[in-house]
Amino acid sequence: MTKPTVSALIDTYNHERYIEQAIVSVLEQDFPASDMEILVVDDGSTDRTPEIVHKFAPRVRLLRKKNGGQASAFNAGIAATDAPIVAFLDADDWWVPGKLSAVISALEREPEAAGVGHGYYEFHEATEETRICAPRETKFLSLTTPDAAHEALLAWGRLLTSAFTVRRKTLDRITPIPESLFFCADAPIALAAMAGGARLLKEPLCYYRRHSDNLDAVDPKNTAKLRRKCEMNERMFQLLERQLVRLDVPSESIAALLYPPWTDAIRLNLRTCGGSRLRAFKTEMQSFRSEVKNPTMGYLLFKYGIVGPATLLLPPRRFYQARDWYAKRNLRRFREGLCGPSTVSENPKRHDQ
C-alpha cells in the first residue's frame, strides 16, 4: 500500500456497543481506499472492543496500549501514522456519508489551512432525539487578532474530536500532548489548528452521541468525579496558555480566547468544590478588569463596594449561589438603574453582575 493521504484515527476505550458503527461509517466513505488508512487505538479496553475491531482486519489496523487516557491514545495513534492528514473519530460517534471527501476537498482548496472542522448532529441516546449543531455559515477561524480570537472562542464548541481533521505538520508542532489530559485532549489540537488558521464548514458531517459514559459526563452528586473534572479543566487551560505562547499567538489573542472560559472553569470549581475567599476575590476582580472597558463610576462603586467585599465575606459556594440567584432574576436592571450602565460607551458583552 502506498502512503495514504489521510489516516482515520479512531480512539476507543470499552466501546463494544459503538465501535462497529464507527468503523463502518469510515469504511462507507466515498473516498479511495488506497488513499486512506483506518487506525483504531484501543486504550486498554477490558470488554469485547478488540475482538470486534479484529473482524475488520486487515482493512482496519488495531493498536492496543495500556490504559492512559485520551491524550495518550492520541499520541500513540499520531506516532503510528505518517499520513499528511489525520481525521479524528471518537469510537462512540460516527461520520455521515461524504464527510471525508468534504473535508479533504476543503483542505485542497486552502493549502494554508491547518485544519477543517464542521457542524454535527447531536444524538441523545436516552431519548433518541437528534438536533443539529452547526454554524450558520462557513467561516475561517484564526487567532491573529483579539477580534478573531473572540470569534474563534464562539466557534470552539463546534470543534469536537469527531468533527475535526488536521494536517500532520500542525500535529508535529504540539505532540506529544500532555498525558495528564485524560479527557479534553482534543482542545490542544483544535487550538493549534485555529492558531494556524482553520476552516469551519457549516454542514453537519458527523454524529456526536451523548450518553451516560461520555468522558466529560459527571453525575453532579458524585463529588469526587466532579472535583476531578474541575481540576482537569483548570489544568487544561494552563497547558493551552503555554501551548499558544509557544505557537507565537499574540498575548491579546490568548486572553480573548482563553480567559473567559478559564474564568468560568474557576468559578465552577469554587461553586461546586469550594476554595478560598481570596481566590474568589481575585477571580472576580480579574474578570472585571479584563471584560469591562471604561467602567462608569457607579459600576466601579458596585464592583469594589459590593461584589468585592462579598467575595471576601462569604464562602465561595455561598457567594456563587448568590451570584447565580442574581443572574437568574435579571437583577442587573436594578443595578443599572441605581449605578448606571457597565461602561461609558455601549458594551455588547453580557455581564451577570
Query: What pLDDT digit, counting tens, does each position of 28-56 carry?
Result: 999 999 999 999 999 999 999 999 999 99
178 has pLDDT over 90:
yes
Give per-residue pLDDT as tens, 111-136.
999 999 999 999 999 899 999 999 99
218 has pLDDT over 60:
no
Q: Does residue 11 share a domain with residue 155?
A: yes
- Which amino acid, residue 37? E
Could you tell me the three cell numbers for 137? 455559515
Higher-confidence position of 183 and 155: 155
Q: How confident is the model at residue 102 (pLDDT cuts 50, 70, 90)?
A: very high
306 has pLDDT over 60:
yes
Q: Coil, strand, or helix at residue 237?
A: helix
Q: Does residue 183 share a domain with residue 308?
A: no
Q: What is the pLDDT of residue 352?
A: 43
Range of the domain at 142: 6-210
Positive or negative, the Cα torsion across 302, 306, 311, 317? negative
Residue 206 in domain? yes
Q: Does residue 188 share a domain with residue 326?
A: no
Q: Does residue 172 share a domain with residue 34?
A: yes
Q: Coil, strand, or helix at residue 254?
A: helix
Global pTM reads 0.86
Q: Does residue 93 share a domain with residue 188?
A: yes
- Which amino acid, residue 332? R
256 has pLDDT over 90:
yes
Residue 303 in domain? yes
Q: Is the peptide bond before 4 cis (omega within 30 degrees of 0)?
A: no
* Domain-terminating residue out of 154, 184, 210: 210
- Number of domains present in the structure of the chain: 2
Q: Does residue 280 share a domain with residue 201?
A: no
Higher-confidence position of 1 and 175: 175
Q: Does residue 294 share a domain with residue 204?
A: no
| Least confident segment among 158-172, 187-201, 263-277, 323-337 | 323-337
Cα 97 to Cα 110: distance, rounded to the nearest angstrom? 22
* Domain-terminating residue out of 169, 189, 210: 210
Q: What is the pLDDT of residue 315?
A: 94
Q: What is the mean pLDDT of residues 147-174?
A: 95
Q: Which helix (H) or strand (E) holds 8?
A: strand 6-12
Q: Does residue 92 share a domain with residue 201?
A: yes
Could you tell me the three cell numbers for 273? 468544590
Cα 217 to Cα 214: distance, rounded to the nearest angstrom? 5
Q: Which residues are bridge partners to 65 per DSSP?
A: none
Cα 49 to Cα 53: distance, rounded to the nearest angstrom? 6
Q: Does residue 146 share a domain with residue 283?
A: no
Q: What is the pLDDT of residue 51?
A: 97
Which of these, 271, 262, 257, lies nearest to 220 by C-alpha position? 271
Q: Does residue 185 share a domain with residue 43?
A: yes
Residue 120 in domain? yes
Cα 232 to Cα 183: distance, rounded to the nearest angstrom? 8
Residue 63 in domain? yes
Residue 18 in domain? yes
Residue 10 in domain? yes
Q: Does residue 333 share a domain with residue 194?
A: no
What CATH number is attached to the domain comprising 11?
A: 3.90.550.10
Helix axes 146-156, 186-196, angle to 10 degrees: 140
Cα angle 279, 284, 287; round to 5: 120
User: What is the distance of C-alpha 279 from the center of its chain?
Assistant: 25
Q: What is the mean pLDDT of residues 240-252?
A: 97
Residue 245 in domain? no
Q: Does residue 153 share a domain with residue 22?
A: yes
Q: How confident is the model at residue 332 (pLDDT cuts 50, 70, 90)?
A: confident
Q: How confident is the model at residue 350 (pLDDT cuts 50, 70, 90)?
A: very low
Residue 132 in domain? yes
Q: What is the pLDDT of residue 221?
A: 66
Higher-confidence position of 118 and 293: 118
Q: How confident is the model at residue 8 (pLDDT cuts 50, 70, 90)?
A: very high
183 has pLDDT over 60:
yes
* Domain-terminating residue out of 156, 185, 210: 210
Cα 315 to Cα 327: distance, rounded to the nearest angstrom? 18
Q: What percent of the chain has pLDDT over 70?
A: 91
